[in-house]
Amino acid sequence: MSNDSQHLRLDAASLESATRRAVEALARGEVVALPTESLYVLCARADRAGLQRLAQVAGKPRRPAVLLGAPSELSNWTVAGAMVRRVITKYWPGPLELRVPAAQRSAGELAQDGTIALRCPADAIPTSVARAAGVPVAVLDAARTTDELRALPGLALVLDNGPTRIGEPPVTLELAPGRFRVENEGLIDAASLRRTVGLEIAFVCTGNTCRSPMAEGIARARLSERLGVPANGLASFGFGVRSMGVFASPGEPASPHAVTVLRDSGIDISAHRAQPTVPETIASLDRVYALTRSHLEALRATLPPGKDRHCELLDPQGRDIADPIGGPRSAYESTAAQIRRAIEVRLESWA
C-alpha cells in the first residue's frame, strides 16, 4: 500500500498480533483501518488530536462514531432508556449506528446537537481493538475493500480481512427527544426499528368509559412529553396507545366527569368511543394493563395458556384502581390521581 501504510493480511494465527499492533498504533496517535461486517472503518483515538488526524485521513468532514467493545459500554456515553435498551438488545452487535443523547461528562468533542454516535459491530476484530485500546476510539466508514484505502494519505495500518461481508454502510438511527431519524435504510428498515423502539399499549377496565379512557389519555400525554412530540405523533416513535373494556358496549362515549377532569389538565378524551376486548387483539399487544384484578382475570381467561405474560395490573403495587362510575367529580379526580401515579412508575419501562 502507498503512503508507507502497513498492510497486514489476517488469518487465525496472526489475529492476536495484528490486534496488538493496531492498539499500539492508536496509542501513538496514528490512524488505522479495521474490517467490520459492513465496511472497513478508519480508527483513531477519540481525543482532539486523534479526531483531527482522522478527519485529515478521511479527506472530507464527516461525523465520527465511538467504537464500543461491547453493548454494555453504552452506559459510558449516554443514559440508556427503555427504547435504546430494546434496540441494542435486538440489533447489537451489528451494523447499526446509534445517535443518542450524550452524557456531557464523557462526550466532549464527539457530541453534536446534544447527541453522540455509537457503534458496536458484529465483527470481533474492531470490538477486540476497542476493548484493548484502553482509551475511547473514534471510527469513520471508509471502504468495502482494502484496495479502496490505497488513496488515503496518512493511514498507518490496515488489518486486511478480505472483502467485507455486507459491503454497505451501517444503518444509522437517531433516537432523541423529538427525533426519530433513519439513514442508510436497507439492512434494517425504518418500520422494523419503529416496532422495536415503541410499544403497543392498552388499558382495560369494565365498560371502557371511565378508568381505561382516562388511563389512555394520561399515558398519551406523558409519553408525548417524554418523547418530545405532540400526542398525535407517538406513532413516529412506534408507540400505540388504546383502551378497551371487558364488558364494553361499542361506541359509548367517555363519561362526562372523565372528560372534564382530564380536560382541566389539558387532555382531551371527548372523541373516545368504547370498544370491547378481543382476544386476538390483546394477544398482539406488547403491554396490557388491567385496572383491577377482576379485569386481569377476565383477560387471562380469554387467552391461551402462557400467552398472558404481557398482561398485568396497572398499579405496580398490585392495588385495584377505584371505579368512580356513578360518583361525584371528586371520585373521578381521585381515580385519575391513582392512574397518574401508576403511569408515572410504568413510564420508565416504556420510553
Q: Mind giving me the DSSP string for 46-72?
A: SSHHHHHHHHHHH-S----EEEPSSGG
Order of strands, sheet of 171-176, starting from the edge strand that comes earlier in the sequence = 6-9, 155-160, 31-34, 40-45, 137-143, 65-67, 115-119, 96-101, 171-176, 179-183
Active site residue 268: no
- Asked whether the beta carbons of 338 and 321 are under 8 A apart, the reply is yes
Active site residue: 21, 179, 211, 220, which one? 211
Note the Cα 18 to chain centre separation in Å: 34
- Cell numbers 453493548 label which residue? 71
CA dist 157 and 25 (Å) reads 8
Distance CA 40, CA 46 (A): 18
Coil, helix or strand for 16?
Answer: helix
Active site residue 211: yes
Catalytic residue chosen out of the listed positions 205, 210, 222, 315: 205
How many whole angstroms separate alpha carbon 116 and alpha carbon 127?
18
Distance CA 344, CA 140 (A): 40
244 three-class SS: strand
Q: Which of 323, 329, 340, 341 is catalytic?
A: 323
- Between CA 330 and CA 111 the distance in angstroms is 49
What positions carry a catalytic annotation?
205, 211, 323
